[in-house]
A = this chain, B = another copy of it.
Amino acid sequence: MARSQTTKKPTRIQREKTRSILEAALDVFSERGFRGSTLDMIAERASLSKPNILYYFDSKEAIHKALLAELLQTWLAPLHGIDEAGDPIEEICGYVAQKLKMAQEFPRESKLFANEVLQGAPHILGEIQGELKALTSEKARVVSEWIKAGKIAAVDPYHLFFSIWATTQHYADFDIQVRTVLGDEAEGANPFETAGPFLDNMYRKLLNPAS
């Protein structure tokens, strides 16, 4: 029986092949989008035959879903870290730095997520309505408390998060545009490196309560 329909403890081969497939699929999906990707491309990149891939996953869509499920946890992790008891400005700027770092280290995941949401989040709308919404709502409450306590300037917490998500992921999702505009001619600086101080400065000014 196909591995993908079994419930027993996975063997070493199963773990390894499943990993290879997800790794290859992340490459392909993030570059070409779900519909622009074919099982043959994934198979080739994973050095497996197409039927072999379908032995481990029931369908192309199943691979995609598995990736998105992993992804969302990665995506949400930094948000969990915002600590109500910490220094508000450091907490938020730390979050910005972490999101930027994730965009730099996991650009494929960022693009996969962007692709999915752009098309109306057909596969993870449920999770967005659930986990993401709940967590954002909770952290928005924390920001509101900080504002009430006069620790940071009064800004809309939701738009604060949106702007952080937008600015940080922009460097991964629109990297071609960013690199082109900055000049591909290897002017040395990595966009992520120079974006760090810019964003840090922007959010410190935005949140500084003494204004």
Contacts and interface: CB of A to CB of B under 8 A. Distances in A.
A119 B211 contact: no
Interface string A163-207: 101110111011011101111000000000011001101100110
A128 interface: yes
Contacts of A206: 201-202, 205-206
Contacts of A35: 32-33, 35-36
Given A162-B171, A162-B195, A170-B166, A155 B36 contact: no
Interface in A116-168: 117-121, 125, 128-129, 132-133, 136-137, 153, 155-156, 158-163, 165-167
Contacts of A129: 180
A54 interface: no
A103 B126 CA distance: 26
Which size class do A's interface residues fall under? Answer: 35 or more
Contacts of A99: none
B133 A181 contact: yes
Given A33-B36, A119-B31, A206-B206, A159 B111 contact: no
Given A162-B167, A198-B156, A202-B202, A173 B36 contact: no
A24 interface: no
Interface of A: 31-36, 111, 114-115, 117-121, 125, 128-129, 132-133, 136-137, 153, 155-156, 158-163, 165-167, 169-171, 173-174, 176-178, 180-183, 194-195, 198-199, 201-202, 205-206, 208, 211
20 contacts: A31-B120, A33-B33, A114-B118, A115-B118, A117-B173, A117-B174, A125-B176, A125-B180, A129-B180, A137-B181, A155-B201, A155-B202, A159-B195, A162-B167, A162-B178, A162-B195, A163-B199, A165-B174, A166-B169, A166-B170
